């Protein structure tokens, strides 16, 4: 009960912060509720933006992936993210901020509609973005259920843990809006950044030191591969450099870019973002890898035995038996198991609160979808003009409730692996949509029809992957080649997903999306010159105007 009480105390603090931010005197209206009046300071902006990117995927998903795949998890996601995300924030995020400040945009779809002079096409983009963000929100509910169940030793069941997290997040987003969400994210980010160093030191000491743990893993043939890139093919490894492109395309990140008080705040964010990634990803990955040498934990040994059993006899087992073994080897809770084994009860509670901080970072995604619904659908189709801003804000709050309930129901009905769910659907889909931002901001010739083509292709590709993986069960052992041409395995079903010509689907999805946007834009009419001059003003070079653009 002690760790569980610490976590519930933490949830109470989070609720207080969110509601307190709502009660502070500040201007009323949609812009304040959804964007905190574009007034976030540099440190709140940095920490809340980073926290919005670091969800259950970071602590639970990364450590679980590292438990089965090894140290390669860190370069797969953390190294590429530390390079690509700050670069996109600097190049694209600052441009979004400037245009939002100039034209009053509150969502990316508003900018797309104005930039490409499109109406209903903007609605299509909204629908696809909303559908792709839902898996990310589901991850938070799944992570909350798994975390509370593990921290409480089963006292709080998965369904109740997910419900508690969903209700807590829904409450402070409902009352606090962007201001409450940003302050909660700031508090949570500080907490789970502190978690990394403390957990690494504490658990490492309990294991006899990480140097000894690594040496033991290296000395056994069955675990030595965990300290290499052996378990991930080179093209798969390269594919993960495309995943961080999804960050700036996520609506909640683009919307967060609009909340900064000054553009200069992006400088600190670009500098400190990689350091924050190092502080949280490195401990989680090392903990996941080191857990393979734990011999005095029944839960860890059960996961290892299930993994080995599946590898040895999986092909001869019935589908139900394979599914049972996969459930037993699921490692999203591996950090929680280590805390239970090596941390004192009171400290396990504090560290458990740090894990919950990362799990609950899906608040910004819920608020982003609420913002998009009220601005891109309700307000765009006349709701604000007819009913006023107060009704618009209340519609946003109602949407928060509806979305949270839907995410909770899906998380209960279809529990899945957090890491693979995020990579295959949320990250891949948004990486394929990132060309829209680049084209809208930096290519004058881009058109609404090119944007529509890229959007529809992305939606079809994600649906196609889901249908394909539902129809073709994951193989046990070697990947299953579905289609081959000229000696190249074009389509392969792997134990954790799908590969296309050796790459993760995100690579062909992003490349084809970019090509379609380019090709269709070249053969369709561009926006009016008036719109183009607003977005790409001519620089005064001291020359005599020629009368031509």
Q: Point out which residues pair with 497 in neighbouring strands.
A: 494
- The DSSP code for 484 is E
For residues 253 and 507, give the distance between their C-alpha atoms in angstroms, rounded to a whole number. 22
Residue with tokens 């941390």: 343
pLDDT of residue 549: 36
* pLDDT higher than threshold 60 for residue 541: no
Q: Which of 128, 188, 148 is nearest to 60 (CA)?
A: 148
Q: Which of 423, 99, 391, 409 is nearest to 236 (CA)?
A: 423
Question: For the chain, which residues make up each domain, given as ranges?
Answer: 2-413
What is the pLDDT confidence band of residue 245, given thresholds at 50, 70 and 90? Answer: very high
55, 126 Cβ separation under 8 angstroms: no
What is the pLDDT confidence band of residue 540, given thresholds at 50, 70 and 90? Answer: very low
Domain 2-413: which CATH class? Answer: mainly alpha
Terminal-to-terminal C-alpha distance of the chain: 71
pLDDT of residue 394: 85
420 contact partners, CB below 8 Å, separation of at least 6? 496, 497
Of 197 and 512, the one with more pLDDT: 512
pLDDT of residue 461: 92
442 contact partners, CB below 8 Å, separation of at least 6? 95
pLDDT of residue 4: 79
The helix (run of H) or strand (run of E) holding residue 481 is strand 480-485
287, 199 Cβ separation under 8 angstroms: yes
For residues 278 and 280, give the distance between their C-alpha atoms in angstroms, rounded to a whole number. 6
Q: Which of 370, 71, 360, 28 is nearest to 232 (CA)?
A: 71
194-223: average pLDDT: 79
Of 13 and 96, the one with more pLDDT: 96
* pLDDT higher than threshold 80 for residue 186: yes
Distinct helix (H) and strand (E) counts, the chain: 29, 3
Residue with tokens 């093209």: 235
127 exposure class (CB count in 10 Å sphere: 0-12, 13-18, 19+): middle
228-250: average pLDDT: 86
For residues 51 and 189, give the distance between their C-alpha atoms in angstroms, rounded to a whole number. 5
pLDDT of residue 509: 94
65-86: average pLDDT: 89
Side-chain half-sphere exposure of 73, counting CA atoms within 13 A:
29
Q: Which of 118, 158, 114, 180 is nearest to 370 (CA)?
A: 180
* pLDDT higher than threshold 90 for residue 92: yes
pLDDT of residue 420: 59
Round the average pLDDT of the chain to a whole number and report it. 83
pLDDT of residue 487: 79
- pLDDT digits over 4-59, tens only? 788 888 888 888 888 776 555 555 677 888 888 888 888 889 888 888 777 666 77
199-210: average pLDDT: 75
The lowest-confidence range among 38-47, 469-478, 499-508 is: 469-478
pLDDT of residue 546: 41
pLDDT of residue 547: 40
Can you read off the two tokens belonging to residue 9? 């105390």
**Predicted model pTM:** 0.84
- pLDDT digits over 157-172, tens only? 888 888 888 888 888 8
What is the pLDDT confidence band of residue 477, given thresholds at 50, 70 and 90? Answer: low
* pLDDT higher than threshold 70 for residue 414: no
pLDDT of residue 542: 42
Give me the percent of the chain exceeding a pLDDT of 90.
22
Residue with tokens 């969400």: 181
Of 26 and 456, the one with more pLDDT: 456
For residues 539 and 537, give the distance between their C-alpha atoms in angstroms, rounded to a whole number. 6
Chain centre to alpha carbon of residue 78: 13
| DSSP 3-state of 491 | strand
pLDDT of residue 418: 52
Of 494 and 520, the one with more pLDDT: 520
Q: What are the strands of the beta sheet with 480-485, ordered from one edge?
A: 480-485, 488-494, 497-500
The lowest-confidence range among 18-27, 68-77, 287-296, 301-310 is: 18-27
- pLDDT digits over 336-392, tens only? 788 778 877 766 677 677 667 666 667 788 888 888 989 898 888 888 888 888 888
Q: Which of 422, 430, 100 is nearest to 266 (CA)?
A: 100
* pLDDT higher than threshold 90 for residue 314: no
CA distances to 2, 161, 330 from 153, in Å: 11, 12, 16
């Amino acid at each position: 009960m002690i760790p569980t009480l610490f976590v519930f105390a933490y949830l109470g603090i989070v609720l207080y912060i969110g509601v307190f931010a709502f009660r502070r005197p500040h201007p009323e209206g949609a812009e304040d509720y959804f964007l905190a009046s574009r007034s976030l300071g540099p440190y709140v902006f940095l920490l809340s933006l980073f926290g919005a990117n670091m969800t259950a995927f970071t602590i639970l998903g990364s450590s679980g992936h590292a438990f089965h795949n090894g140290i390669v998890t860190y370069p797969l996601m953390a190294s590429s993210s530390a390079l690509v995300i700050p670069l996109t924030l600097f190049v694209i995020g600052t441009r979004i901020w400037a245009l939002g400040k100039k034209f009053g945009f509150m969502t990316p779809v508003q900018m797309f509609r104005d930039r490409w002079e499109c109406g209903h096409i903007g609605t299509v983009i909204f629908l696809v973005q909303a559908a792709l963000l839902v898996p990310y929100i589901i991850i938070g509910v799944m992570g909350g259920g798994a975390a509370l169940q593990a921290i409480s030793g089963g006292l709080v069941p998965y369904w109740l843990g997910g419900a508690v997290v969903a209700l807590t997040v829904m409450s402070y987003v409902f009352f606090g809006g962007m201001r409450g969400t940003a302050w909660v994210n700031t508090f949570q980010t500080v907490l789970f950044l502190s978690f990394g160093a403390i957990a690494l030191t504490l658990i490492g000491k309990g294991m006899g030191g990480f140097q000894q743990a690594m040496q033991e893993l290296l000395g056994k043939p069955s675990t030595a591969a965990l300290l290499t890139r052996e378990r991930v093919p080179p093209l798969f490894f390269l594919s993960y450099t495309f995943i961080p492109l999804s960050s700036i395309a996520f609506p909640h990140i683009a919307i967060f870019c609009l909340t900064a008080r000054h553009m200069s705040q992006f400088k600190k964010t670009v500098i400190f973002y990689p350091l924050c990634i190092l502080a949280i990803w490195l401990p989680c990955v090392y903990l996941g890898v080191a857990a393979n040498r734990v011999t005095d934990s029944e839960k860890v040994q059960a996961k290892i035995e299930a993994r080995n059993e599946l590898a040895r006899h999986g092909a001869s087992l019935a589908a139900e038996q394979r599914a049972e073994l996969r459930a037993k080897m699921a490692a999203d809770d591996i950090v929680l198991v280590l805390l239970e084994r090596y941390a004192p009860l009171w400290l396990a509670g504090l560290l458990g609160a740090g894990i919950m901080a990362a799990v609950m970072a899906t608040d910004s995604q819920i608020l982003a979808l609420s913002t998009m619904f009220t601005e891109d659908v309700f307000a765009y189709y006349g709701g604000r003009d007819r009913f006023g801003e107060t009704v618009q804000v209340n519609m946003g709050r109602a949407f928060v409730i509806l979305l949270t309930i839907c995410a909770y129901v899906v998380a209960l009905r279809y529990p899945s692996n957090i890491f693979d769910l995020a990579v295959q659907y949320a990250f891949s889909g948004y990486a394929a949509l990132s060309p829209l931002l680049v084209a809208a901001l930096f290519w004058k010739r881009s058109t609404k029809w090119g944007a529509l083509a890229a959007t529809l292709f992305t939606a079809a590709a994600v649906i196609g992957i889901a249908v394909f993986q539902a129809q073709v069960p994951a193989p046990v052992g070697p990947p299953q080649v579905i289609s081959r041409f000229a000696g190249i395995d074009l389509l392969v079903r792997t134990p954790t997903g799908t590969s296309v010509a050796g790459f993760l689907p995100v690579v062909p999805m992003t490349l084809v999306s970019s090509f379609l946007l380019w090709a269709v834009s070249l053969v369709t009419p561009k926006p009016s010159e008036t719109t183009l001059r607003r977005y790409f003003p001519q620089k005064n070079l001291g020359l005599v105007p020629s009368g031509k653009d």
